[in-house]
């Protein structure tokens, strides 16, 4: 108020007017506030909303080894119609804790409301907006699974979730304050105490309303909640990664392949306990089992590779022998000889060149050339095979060319100049 009065004084003197004294200014502001700072009571429908938030006050656990106090953050969910609430403590306020708290609250209520109204915290809302807020992907997925909608409260507008704000204050006084001196060494033990205190609050009769929170919830509200899904929700985390030039993404220090067409693009990864799914613009492009154990492992799907990479990967001694058996027995003998008498890496290079001969020669020609080389040489090589193939190719061209036909006598096809003409002799 002093700051506002000071600004008001400066503005009035700038316009050559006499300002009100501080006391008069406060009185006039009070009259203005009474007139314009009004609130409208809104009667909520049963099962319409669940309001969620973290309590401002915290509790503590005692570390058995060091004796230090570990902070415990309190999650609160409230149904505005009945004021029926749920409370649970967590060691942090990260996304996993936020989602777990919602799942446990839904199980406690035995159903889900039409709308979830959280605060604008980063674990729930990425970007706050009055009309079109951007919801955290994991939170949105949870809401979709339970067939509900997330409608965050407006920024710095606690009255948008007045029920949970009131519950926070009430629970802070009745539960958190009551347990402030409670010595506890495990989170499970502390949560049991929280639920015991919460049950007392839910069963206590209202002062200005008939019945208790639990009675109104069970008689009037519970039947309006959406039923829970048959299968429990699997927790998932979302991460954004850039596809590297080796068509892999790094997620938690492990590497997973995606189709090579997405190199240098940003993709989103959905991580569950046993599975990782990769999405590009809401389209799933890859999935892998989660890698566990030593960091730096690779999960590579050969279908994600370009053709020449896949061909190199599949070029092994076994694949060469399989290829040779399809060509013929003589080629199989030649390939086996090269593998047995040469270092594997060098042999594979020679065999790659041998397989590439398919582009220029038929399999039958390769089989014949292999047979010839094995007969004439005690040390068959790729060079000999190429030489035999070229020689056989030339022979077949000579054999297949048609014989030269002489012109029959008596047939005159135009003017014929003999040798004498080119010698310059005259007839």
Domain-embedded: residue 422: no
Q: CB–CB of 43/7 below 8 Å? A: no
pLDDT of 108 higher than 90: yes
Name the domain boundary from 308, 326, 350.
308
Q: How would residue 160 be classed by pLDDT, with cut points 50, 70 and 90?
A: very low
Is the pLDDT reported for residue 164 higher than 70? no
Q: Is residue 44 part of a domain?
A: no
Confidence tier at 284 by pLDDT (50, 70, 90): very high
pLDDT value at 374 more than 80: yes
365 is a domain residue: yes
Range of the domain at 372: 315-400
Q: What is the mean pLDDT of the chain?
A: 82
Are residue 81 and residue 208 in the same domain, yes or no? yes
- 358 with 296, same domain? no
109-116: average pLDDT:
91
What CATH code is carried by the domain that includes residue 153?
Answer: 3.30.420.10
Q: What is the pTM of this model?
A: 0.57
Q: Does residue 421 sit within a domain?
A: no
For residue range 305-317, what is the model confidence (pLDDT) as tens digits?
A: 998 888 777 788 8
Same domain? For 73 and 128 the reply is yes
Question: Residue 277 domain-assigned?
Answer: yes
Q: Is the pLDDT of residue 155 over 80?
A: no
How would you class 373 by CB atoms within 10 Å of its CB: exposed for 0-12, middle for 13-18, buried for 19 or more? Answer: buried
- Mean pLDDT over 270-278 rounds to 89
- Please give the pLDDT value at position 130: 59
Q: Where are the beta strands (DSSP E) in 136-234?
A: 149-150
How many folded domains does the chain comprise?
A: 4
Do 198 and 294 fall into the same domain?
A: no
Pairing of strands 69-79, 49-62: antiparallel
Same domain, 269 and 214: no
Per-residue pLDDT reduced to its tens digit, 45-78: 788 888 888 887 888 888 877 878 888 898 999 8
Q: CB within 8 A of 240, min separation 6: which ones? A: 266, 267, 268, 269
Look at residue 289 and tell me whether its pLDDT is greater than 90. yes
């Amino acid at each position: 108020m002093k700051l506002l009065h000071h600004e008001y004084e400066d503005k009035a003197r700038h316009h050559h007017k006499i300002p009100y004294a501080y006391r008069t200014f406060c009185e006039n502001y009070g009259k203005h506030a009474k007139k314009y700072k009004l609130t409208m009571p809104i009667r909520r429908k049963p099962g319409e909303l669940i309001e969620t938030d973290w309590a401002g006050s915290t509790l503590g656990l005692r570390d058995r080894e060091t004796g230090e106090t570990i902070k415990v953050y309190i999650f609160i969910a409230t149904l505005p119609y009945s004021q029926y609430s749920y409370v649970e403590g967590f060691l942090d306020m990260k996304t996993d804790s936020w989602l777990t708290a919602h799942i446990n609250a839904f199980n406690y209520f035995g159903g889900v409301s039409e709308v979830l109204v959280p605060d604008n915290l980063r674990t729930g809302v990425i970007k706050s907006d009055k009309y079109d807020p951007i919801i955290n992907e994991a939170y949105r997925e949870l809401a979709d699974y339970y067939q509900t909608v997330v409608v965050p409260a407006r920024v710095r507008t606690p009255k948008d979730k007045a029920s949970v704000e009131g519950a926070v204050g009430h629970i802070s006084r009745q539960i958190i304050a009551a347990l402030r001196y409670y010595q506890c060494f495990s989170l499970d033990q502390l949560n049991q105490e929280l639920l015991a205190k919460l049950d007392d609050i839910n069963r206590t009769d209202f002062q200005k309303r008939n019945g208790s929170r639990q009675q109104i919830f069970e008689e009037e509200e519970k039947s309006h909640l959406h039923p829970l899904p048959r299968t429990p929700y699997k927790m998932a985390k979302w991460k954004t990664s850039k596809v590297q030039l080796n068509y892999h993404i790094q997620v938690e220090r492990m590497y997973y392949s995606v189709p090579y067409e997405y190199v240098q693009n940003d993709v989103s990864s959905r991580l569950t306990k046993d599975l990782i799914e990769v999405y590009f613009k809401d389209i799933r492009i890859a999935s892998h089992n989660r890698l566990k154990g030593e960091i730096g492992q690779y999960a590579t799907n050969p279908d994600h590779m370009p053709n020449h990479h896949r061909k190199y990967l599949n070029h092994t001694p076994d694949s060469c022998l399989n290829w040779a058996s399809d060509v013929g027995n003589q080629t199989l003998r030649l390939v086996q000889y090269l593998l047995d008498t040469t270092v594997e890496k060098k042999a594979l290079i020679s065999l790659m060149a041998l397989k590439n001969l398919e582009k220029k020669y038929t399999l039958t020609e390769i089989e014949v050339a292999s047979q010839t080389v094995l007969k004439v040489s005690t040390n068959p090589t790729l060079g000999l095979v190429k030489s035999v193939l070229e020689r056989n190719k030339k022979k077949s061209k000579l054999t297949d060319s048609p014989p030269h036909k002489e012109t029959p006598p008596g047939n005159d096809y135009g003017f014929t100049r003999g040798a004498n003409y080119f010698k310059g002799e005259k007839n």
